[in-house]
């Protein structure tokens, strides 16, 4: 599910796109729900980079870092090939492997699965605007008070969050970056900050109001300033949530990529089994979500979200299908943005955090009213709203 968004810059007939996308002139009026496609790198396999899962019940399933390194040595593979070890019910290993080393790993009976690491990307065009207290999408969805949601936490797996935005309650100490070479979870792109504001912008005297106003936000940064990241970083972020969150916490994943990842879906399911709730964007390919992870993940605590506009019409870009649980507002949505600003964006990336906010205020029994008009799969998604 690529997190793709559109913004028209006032008075200029161009769209400014993050560097991973092509800047192009606008020759005609663009529909409100038009999106710019993601970088051509989206879904591209990273040569010789692999995500390895150890089999449950195997001797290696709960090995510590030092034991994993020794097991790799036993296969005559240098331990320098190991890039990351994530312990848990099933140990995950990120490794750089040549073909002969990959063959040895695949032949090890302790290994459950091996999948190539891939590039995930976003592409955003930005319409920076002045804020207004209660936006149309928040008003129609419904919003809650801090007393209803504390001490729940919203975990935002995205481009980071503007750590000192005056309208956001970010837990800087718990926020982390999974982007190589970037130690800060501060948002250098803007997408994650926009998502965070929809979820929980403060009920204060500035800016605007989020669905679950004042909720504590934790930024788990997996995309860089160009909107590019790695599948392995997303998997590592979900594993981190599973280890450090509690039942009732909510994870927003306004992201995705080309194809399917069994490892990512398994990590989400493991966390959901612990009572952690997920709001996941359906994606913006105008296709069935069954083609994409994590959108196709099914679990009672996982909500895949399609997008509708302010008139409840199914967004032309939104993915659809039987794995979609609800629709939410995702066309020209105003929220917080990087560097203390506010902006309007479109995408299922914007729809998912509306549901994340409702999960924080209402739990899994989120309110629904009406259905999406012109849903392509013929089974209109219920709209998450009061």
Q: Is 355 helix (H, G, I), strand (E, B) or coil?
A: helix
Instruction: Please pick, among 165, 191, 194, 240, the residue that the annotation labels catalytic.
Output: 191
Residue burial 222-251, b: 16+ Cβ < 10 Å; e: rest = bbbbbbbbbbbbbbbbbbbbbeebeebbbb
Q: b/e string for 24-41 if b means 16 or more Cβ within 10 A? A: eeeeeeeeebbbbebbee
Ranges of beta strands (E only) in 189-275 are 216-221, 228-230, 250-253
Pairwise CA distance, residues 134 & 167, whole Å:
13
191 is known as an active-site residue: yes
Q: Which of 349, 354, 375, 381 is catalytic?
A: 349
Work out the angle between the directed axes of helices 231-244 and 262-273 (0-180°, nearest 10).
10
Catalytic (active site) residue 162 = no
194 is catalytic: no
Token pair for residue 65? 């870092």
DSSP annotation of 144:
B
Q: What DSSP string describes 72-126? A: HHHTT--GGGEEEEE-SSS-EEEEE--HHHHHHHHH-TTEEEEEEEEEEE-EEB-
Side-chain-facing half-sphere of 47: CA atoms under 13 Å:
1
Q: Which helix (H) or strand (E) holds 54?
A: strand 45-54
Using alpha carbons, select from 143, 144, 180, 186 the residue that is nearest to residue 164.
186
Handedness of CA 173, 175, 180, 184 (dihedral sign): negative
- Catalytic residue numbers read 158, 191, 349
């Amino acid at each position: 599910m690529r997190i793709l968004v559109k913004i028209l810059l006032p008075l200029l007939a161009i769209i400014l796109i993050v560097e991973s996308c092509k800047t192009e002139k606008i020759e005609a009026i663009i529909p409100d729900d038009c999106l710019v496609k993601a970088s051509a790198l989206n879904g591209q396999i990273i040569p010789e980079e692999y995500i390895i899962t150890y089999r449950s019940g195997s001797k290696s399933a709960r090995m510590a870092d030092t034991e994993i390194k020794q097991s790799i040595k036993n296969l005559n593979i240098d331990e320098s090939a190991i890039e990351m070890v994530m312990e848990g019910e099933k140990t995950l290993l990120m490794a750089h492997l040549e073909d002969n080393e990959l063959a040895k790993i695949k032949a090890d009976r302790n290994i459950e699965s091996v999948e190539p690491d891939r590039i995930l990307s976003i592409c955003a065009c930005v319409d920076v605007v002045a804020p207004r207290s209660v936006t149309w999408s928040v008003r129609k969805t419904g919003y809650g008070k801090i007393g209803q949601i504390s001490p729940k936490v919203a975990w935002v797996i995205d481009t980071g969050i503007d750590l000192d935005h005056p309208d956001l309650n970010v837990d800087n100490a718990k926020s982390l970056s999974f982007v190589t070479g970037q130690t800060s979870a501060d948002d250098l792109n803007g997408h994650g900050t926009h998502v965070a504001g929809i979820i929980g912008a403060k009920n204060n005297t500035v800016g605007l109001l989020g669905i679950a106003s004042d909720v504590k936000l934790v930024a788990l940064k997996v995309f860089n300033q160009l909107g590019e990241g790695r599948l392995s970083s997303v998997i590592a972020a979900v594993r981190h949530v599973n280890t450090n969150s509690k039942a009732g916490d909510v994870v927003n994943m306004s992201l995705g990529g080309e194809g399917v990842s069994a490892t990512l879906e398994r990590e989400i399911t493991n966390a959901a089994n612990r009572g952690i709730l997920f709001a996941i964007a359906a994606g913006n390919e105008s296709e069935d979500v069954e083609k994409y992870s994590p959108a196709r993940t099914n679990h009672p605590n996982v909500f895949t979200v399609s997008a509708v506009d302010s008139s409840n019409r199914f967004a032309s870009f939104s993915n659809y299908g039987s794995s979609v649980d609800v629709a939410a507002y995702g066309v020209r949505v105003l929220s917080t943005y990087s560097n203390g600003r506010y902006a309007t964006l479109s995408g299922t990336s914007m729809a998912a955090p509306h549901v994340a906010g409702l999960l924080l205020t209402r739990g899994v029994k989120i309110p629904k009213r009406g259905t999406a008009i012109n849903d392509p799969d013929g089974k209109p998604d219920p709209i998450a709203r009061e």
